[in-house]
Amino acid sequence: MEAIATDLPGVLILEPPVFRDDRGAFRETWRRERWAAAGLPERFEQDNLSASRPGVLRGLHYQHPNPQGKLVSVLAGAVFDVAVDIRVGSPTFGRWVGVELSAENGRQLWVPPDFAHGFVVTAVGGDGVALFAYKCTTVYDPTAEGSIRWDDPAIGIAWPVASPSLSPKDAGAPTLAEVAEGRLPRHAATP
């Protein structure tokens, strides 16, 4: 497996080998010792699966306190997946990285705790949806849930879909500057 560093510290693109033949394909999506060697935690607490139609955008979501690290991948279709550094005092605060994840390329993205995460569906599988899988380091905590506006101009994410389909919560999310500082994580080097 190849682990590719991104411009955001700790955010990794993972490329497990995909074995293809005339019957289809096979790949590992998690093996504790291999993924731990790439720097991921050895333990996850919750797995999630979402099914989304073309143009659906989910995000930007985070938990604070009780942050979730997420290992994400696509089982059917394709998405443009994004991680944003929202750690107050971080040298990369407000910066983002995006990558295409698809059933075809088999890539995964590791989004560390204290980063916001979102994705938009760019292609669907045979059932007309993209299947998006999350392995989470902590369980979902609705009291710690936070959202940041998907099109925050200060972040400037270059989404490949101009008019995505949004939930009411995501459509009404605040910009990063509007989130109270106490509702955001702090960079480890920041007092």
* 101 compared with 18, residue with greater pLDDT: 101
Could you tell me if 84 and 149 are in contact, meaning their C-beta atoms sit under 8 angstroms apart?
no
**Where residue 31 falls among pLDDT bands split at 50, 70, 90?**
confident
pLDDT in tens, 74-100: 999 999 999 999 999 999 999 999 999
| Structural domains present in the chain | 2-19+29-180 (2.60.120.10)
Q: Are 114 and 188 in contact (CB under 8 A)?
A: no
Whole-model pTM: value is: 0.94
C-alpha torsion angle, residues 54, 55, 60, 66 (rounded to 10): -10
3-state SS assignment for residue 191 = coil
Average pLDDT over residues 138-159: 97
Active-site amino acid positions: 61, 134
One DSSP character per residue, 36-88 reads: HHTT--S---EEEEEEE-TTBEEEEEEESSS---EEEEEEESEEEEEEEE--B
At residue 191 the predicted structure's pLDDT band, cuts being 50, 70 and 90, is low
